[in-house]
Amino acid sequence: MRLLPDLLRTTYRLLEHAYGLQGWWPLVGRAGTPGYDPEGYLVDPEAARPLADEERLEIALGAVLTQNTAWENARRAVVALRDGEFVSTEALRDVESDKLARVIRSSGYFNQKARKLKLLARSFERMDVGGMAETSRRSVLLEVWGVGPETADSILLYAYGEPHFIADAYARRVFRRVGVAQRELSYDELQATCHQALPRDRELYGEYHALLVRHARTHCRKTPICEGCPLRRICSYARS
């Protein structure tokens, strides 16, 4: 039995080698600018620069919009929000929920998500007035209706640079098959495991999450396609 930190690092290395830099989180406003591809993914790490408040908010809105939703549908809604100049806490406070729902229609669950975006914007008004400790940012977010652990950690990781491992459904599926755990762990259990086994590094966690999404979509699907899987050598599922 291989040591867990070793297995998690090797998995990362193999995924990184197979798929390369993912450049998450995509920023619609930076799409096509130097260092970013047409979708807003970072392709040249040298070109990365600090996030503006509005970009942080865009990431947070996108994190809600993509809940159980294909990113392309969520992305259209982000574009629509930007076009309507709704990526601001004031605009989201003032807009009617029904109007907002129509703007984000393409993301699905639009009535629920309209409500979520308005509530999230309220919490941002309070969070962005500095001096908030990292330990409390997460609990503030988790108190917001519509923000669960994955959404909170995505916002904290990609918008605020806090190193939280995102232990989403893909991570749980891939890691269970690879052999990180025997049974399917809960979100909090897997996150704690990863926090213990890996260095608390925001770049590592950001890329790891993106790579797991990519890998779960291409090979480690619900019905896996093990042919050509980059994890084949180390995966207990493929060898069983």
**With binding defined as CB under 7 A, does residue 88 bind DNA?**
no
b or e along 47-64 (b: 16 or more beta carbons within 10 Å of the residue's beta carbon)? eeeebeeebbbbbbbbbb
Binding segment for DNA (CB under 7 A), chosen from 2-10, 83-91, 99-107, 126-134, is 99-107
Q: Which positions from 138 to 167 touch DNA by CB under 7 A, shown as an x/- string?
A: ------xxxxxxxxx-x---x---------
Among 17, 32, 38, 68, binds DNA (CB under 7 A): 68
Binding segment for DNA (CB under 7 A), chosen from 2-10, 90-98, 102-110, 232-240, is 102-110
Name residue, tokens 């090797």. 10
**With binding defined as CB under 7 A, does residue 112 bind DNA?**
yes
Asked whether 193 and 4 are in contact (CB, 8 A), the reply is yes
Q: Could you tell me the smallest distance in angstroms from the CB atom of residue 178 to DNA?
A: 17
CB-CB neighbours of 44 under 10 Å:
12
Close Cβ partners of 70 (under 8 Å, ≥ 6 residues apart): none
Close Cβ partners of 47 (under 8 Å, ≥ 6 residues apart): 34, 35, 36
Q: Could you tell me the smallest distance in angstroms from the CB atom of residue 200 to DNA?
A: 20
| Subset of 214-233 contacting DNA (CB under 7 A) | 216-217, 221-222
**With binding defined as CB under 7 A, does residue 170 bind DNA?**
yes
| Subset of 19-48 contacting DNA (CB under 7 A) | 24-26
Task: Identify which of residues 3 and 165 has a Cβ nearer to DNA in the complex.
Answer: 165
3-state secondary structure of 166: coil
Between the alpha carbon of residue 240 and those of residues 43, 176, 235, the distances in Å are 37, 13, 9
Binding residues for DNA (CB under 7 A):
24-26, 62-63, 66-73, 76, 105-113, 144-152, 154, 158, 168-170, 186-187, 213, 216-217, 221-222
